[in-house]
């Protein structure tokens, strides 16, 4: 069954270098009041990885900018990311923890 599109509220965005990874992150408020993050990261000499992180789980995600020739973006999740590198997951959690402390 298709999921009904919903509006996300952007709460913050941050970037930084954490160990061997460059990381960009966006925090959103999702329907129901919960929060989730979309991160983009890349270690040296590796491709870019983008994840939707909610409730401590990493999901595969695609982001389509300027949907319908507008200022809107379409973010789609595609199930749990089962093959995320454990070091990258650890670094992303570290980045999120750092950014949450900075937001206080």
Domain locations in the chain?
A: 9-99
Please tell me the pTM assigned to this model: 0.61
Query: Which H or E run includes 103?
Result: helix 86-103
Parallel/antiparallel/unpaired status of strands 21-29 and 57-64: unpaired
Q: What percentage of the chain reaches a pLDDT higher than 70? A: 83
pLDDT averaged over every residue in the chain: 81
Extract the tokens encoding 22.
């460059």
Per DSSP, the three-state class of 7 is: coil
Indicate whether 17 pLDDT > 60: yes
Name the strands in the sheet holding 74-80, side by side, starting at the edge strand that comes first in the sequence: 9-18, 21-29, 35-43, 49-54, 57-64, 74-80
Indicate whether 1 pLDDT > 50: no
52-91, pLDDT tens digit by residue? 888 889 998 887 665 555 566 677 788 899 888 899 899 8
């Amino acid at each position: 069954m298709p999921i009904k599109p919903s509006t996300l509220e952007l709460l913050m965005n941050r970037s930084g270098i954490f160990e061997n990874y460059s990381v960009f992150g966006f925090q959103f408020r999702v329907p129901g009041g919960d929060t989730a993050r979309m991160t983009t990261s890349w270690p040296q000499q590796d491709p870019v990885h983008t994840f939707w992180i909610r409730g401590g789980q990493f999901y595969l995600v695609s982001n389509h900018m300027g949907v319908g020739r507008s200022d809107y973006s379409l973010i789609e999740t595609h199930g749990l990311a089962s093959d995320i590198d454990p070091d990258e997951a650890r670094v992303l959690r570290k980045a999120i923890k750092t950014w949450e402390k900075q937001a206080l």
